[in-house]
Amino acid sequence: MDLLIFGARGDLSGRKLFPALYHLDNCELLPKDLRIFALAREDISLDTFLGDIKERVRRYVDDSRWSEEQWSAYADRFVYHRVDFGDEEQIRTLAEFLSPQRPVLFYLATPPGLFGPICEHLGAAGCLEGDRRLLLEKPIGHDLASCREVNDTVAKFFPEDAIYRVDHYLGKETVQNLLVLRFGNRFINTQWDQSCVDHVQISVAEPIGIEGRWSYYDSVGQLRDMVQNHLMQLLCLVAMEPPNSMTAEGIRDEKVKIVRALRPIDLENVRDHAVRGQYTAGWLRGEPVPGYLQEEDCPKSESNTETFVALKAFIDNWRWAGVPFYLRTGKRMPEKLTEIVITYKALPHNIFAAAGREDVPNRLVIRLQPNEGIEMQMVSKLHSLRNKMGLVTETLNLDFLGSADLDRIPDAYERLFLDAINGDQSLFVGREEIEESWRWCDGLIDAWQESGLPIQGYQAGSWGPTRGELLIEKDGRSWHV
Ligand code: BG6
């Protein structure tokens, strides 16, 4: 098998792709004959390329998993090839390395504008005969129309069952665990609908800012960068019906029904259902940090791009009728936190009220990062002779890493590479899902623009603008963190 990585000198390759492949190699999970073709524009030697990559991979590999012998076995798999991806002649040179008898994975870690030309040139060069799979990194388009254009172009060269659209959140162990928790535990599954659930919160907070990606990020913003893909996938996994099997088709069919059932956020409700924010200068862990417009590579004095989004969404179907889903994501927040919180409805009648005990609803907290695990908040009796019916809220805490036979949780890209190598698409995004998701986000972006609602400033190091708090508090609820 051959793996061709387009954009091998890019940030994603150094930070995620090559360390993930190193780990897989270390665990003897890569096909023995796998060759890795690192493709980039720079005219450098294989030694120079490997020198740079070694330094980067080393940063992401634990001492216990690093050895020079392992590295040199891994490095032996590499071929570095200089290619200008927009140039048909140069892509043609790849043909001499590939054979129709060897399966090939093409990994496009390039801007989406190059997806079409690369596929066309590969096709023209005769590189697409045999078992060929295409992995596409996000963003796939910046709206429904451009996403369709990319999908139409790649569909001319690859059938849908050979296209692997990467959303790295789906490769996270704990995200997959959502499916197991929901569909492998009867007691969770039977309490998972509007009759039991009061509301759902999904928060994805990051302390980092724009990290040298200002001009890219400014043309995208947090809705396109995080909500359209990662939060939408989490929402689907929380809300979807049980698929009848764990096949890619079964899972995708159920996810797409959720996206279709999402109530549009339009001009009428945008003011109450959506908040956009942009960070201003502030403090994080005792250090001063600049505002979005003062970031080093920011060339502008003003920008209307959001770095924070909070939404109140409804899924108009039988299971979730009337249950709000509060979504929140932002940059420069106080900590790295990805969690899903299911808050259950209050008891029909509180028999402990006479003892002065308020009804505290059960809460299931699914922590995706850091400290992957789940917490169930429940009420129990206070052990005491004096206080006969004193009640306390206790937390059942399941720490996944602690209970696993693992000393680390594998990175998402390890799972995704392995699945693509094995031809399993269940953790990749289907065409319909991604297009429906863009349709919904486009409606929201249009409503934002038409409404002229101003972007809300929030201090770096805070949990977002006050309006983000009000979005949930006006419903008599509050963010879990
Ligand atoms: C990427 C976004 O897809 O996900 C980044 O482009 C974001 O802006 C990153 O920082 C977050 O990923 P993770 O795995 O660190 O939560």
**200 in a structural domain:** yes
Same domain, 131 and 202: no
Which atom number of ligand 1 is nearest to the Cα of residue 138? 3
Same domain, 101 and 199: no
Same domain, 143 and 219: no
**Distances 76 to 7, 32, 83, 164, 380 between C-alpha atoms, Å:** 20, 11, 21, 26, 59
Dihedral sign for Cα 352, 358, 362, 365, please.
negative
Domain assignment of residue 299, given as a range: 172-473
The values of phi and psi at residue 109, to 5°, are -100, 60
- Kindly give the distance from the C-alpha atom of residue 277 to the centroid of ligand 1, in angstroms, as a whole number: 18
Separation CA 192–CA 320 (nearest Å): 9
Q: 377: how many CB neighbours lie within 10 A of its CB? A: 18
- Kindly give the distance from the C-alpha atom of residue 384 to the centroid of ligand 1, in angstroms, as a whole number: 48
Same domain, 8 and 140: yes
Identify the residue whose C-alpha is closest to ligand 1 atom 9. Answer: 226
- Kindly give the distance from the C-alpha atom of residue 179 to the centroid of ligand 1, in angstroms, as a whole number: 21
**481 in a structural domain:** no
Query: Residue 158's domain is classified under what CATH number?
Result: 3.40.50.720
206 lines ligand 1 (CB under 6 A): yes
Q: What is the pLDDT of residue 405?
A: 67
pLDDT tens-digit readout, 143-182: 999 999 999 999 999 999 999 999 999 999 888 889 999 9
Q: To test ligand 1's pocket by mutation, which of 203, 204, 206 has the most ligand atoms within 8 angstroms of CB?
A: 206
Q: What is the pLDDT of residue 403?
A: 66
Strand ranges, E, within 259-390: 274-280, 282-284, 287-289, 308-314, 324-330, 337-344, 363-369, 373-381
Write down which residue in 135, 167, 199 finishes a domain: 167
Q: What is the pLDDT of residue 430?
A: 96
Residue in the structure block whose two tokens are 């590479």? 417
**Enzyme catalytic residues:** 230
Q: Which residues pair with 3 in a beta bridge?
A: 36, 105
Identify the residue whose C-alpha is closest to ligand 1 atom 14. Answer: 169
Write down which residue in 113, 139, 167 finishes a domain: 167
Separation CA 227–CA 441 (nearest Å): 8
Same domain, 36 and 182: no
Q: What is the pLDDT of residue 220?
A: 93
Exposed, middle or buried: residue 388 (CB in 10 Å: 0-12, 13-18, 19+)? exposed
| Edge-to-edge strands, sheet with 104-108 | 78-82, 35-40, 2-6, 104-108, 132-136, 163-165
**90 in a structural domain:** yes
Strand ranges, E, within 152-209: 163-165, 197-205
- Kindly give the distance from the C-alpha atom of residue 205 to the centroid of ligand 1, in angstroms, as a whole number: 10
Q: To test ligand 1's pocket by mutation, which of 208, 214, 230, 232 has the most ligand atoms within 8 angstroms of CB?
A: 230
Q: What is the pLDDT of residue 122?
A: 94
- Kindly give the distance from the C-alpha atom of residue 477 to the centroid of ligand 1, in angstroms, as a whole number: 28
Q: Which residues pair with 344 in a beta bridge?
A: 197
Write down which residue in 167, 202, 232 finishes a domain: 167
Same domain, 140 and 285: no
- Kindly give the distance from the C-alpha atom of residue 130 to the centroid of ligand 1, in angstroms, as a whole number: 34
Q: What is the pLDDT of residue 392?
A: 85
**430 in a structural domain:** yes
Which atom number of ligand 1 is nearest to the Cα of residue 204? 16
Same domain, 177 and 247: yes
**123 in a structural domain:** yes
Separation CA 367–CA 335 (nearest Å): 13
pTM greater than 0.75 (yes/no): yes
Query: Residue 358's domain is classified under what CATH number?
Result: 3.30.360.10
**479 in a structural domain:** no
Q: What is the pLDDT of residue 212?
A: 83
Which atom number of ligand 1 is nearest to the Cα of residue 217? 8
Same domain, 109 and 18: yes
Q: What is the pLDDT of residue 2?
A: 97
Same domain, 236 and 367: yes
The three-state secondary structure class of 217 is helix
225 lines ligand 1 (CB under 6 A): yes
Which atom number of ligand 1 is nearest to the Cα of residue 225? 6
Same domain, 58 and 187: no
Same domain, 113 and 195: no
Amino acid at 172: K
Identify the residue whose C-alpha is closest to ligand 1 atom 4. Answer: 226
What's the token pair of residue 458?
A: 């929030």
- Per-residue pLDDT of the chain in tens (481 residues, 90 and over written 9): 999 999 999 989 999 999 999 999 999 999 999 999 999 999 999 999 999 999 999 999 988 899 999 999 999 999 999 999 888 889 999 999 999 999 999 999 998 889 999 999 999 999 999 999 999 998 899 999 999 999 999 999 999 999 999 999 999 988 888 999 999 999 888 999 999 999 999 999 999 998 888 988 999 999 999 999 999 999 999 999 999 988 999 999 999 999 999 999 999 999 999 999 999 999 999 999 999 999 988 888 899 999 999 999 999 999 999 999 999 999 999 999 999 999 999 988 888 877 777 778 899 999 988 888 889 998 888 888 887 778 888 998 888 777 666 677 889 999 999 999 999 999 999 999 999 999 999 999 999 999 999 999 999 999 999 999 999 999 999 999 9
Same domain, 50 and 112: yes
Q: What is the pLDDT of residue 404?
A: 66
**456 in a structural domain:** yes
**480 in a structural domain:** no
Identify the residue whose C-alpha is closest to ligand 1 atom 13. Answer: 169
**Distances 13 to 53, 58, 238, 257 between C-alpha atoms, Å:** 9, 13, 30, 33
Q: To test ligand 1's pocket by mutation, which of 138, 168, 228, 339 has the most ligand atoms within 8 angstroms of CB?
A: 168
Exposed, middle or buried: residue 49 (CB in 10 Å: 0-12, 13-18, 19+)? buried
The total domain count for the chain is: 2
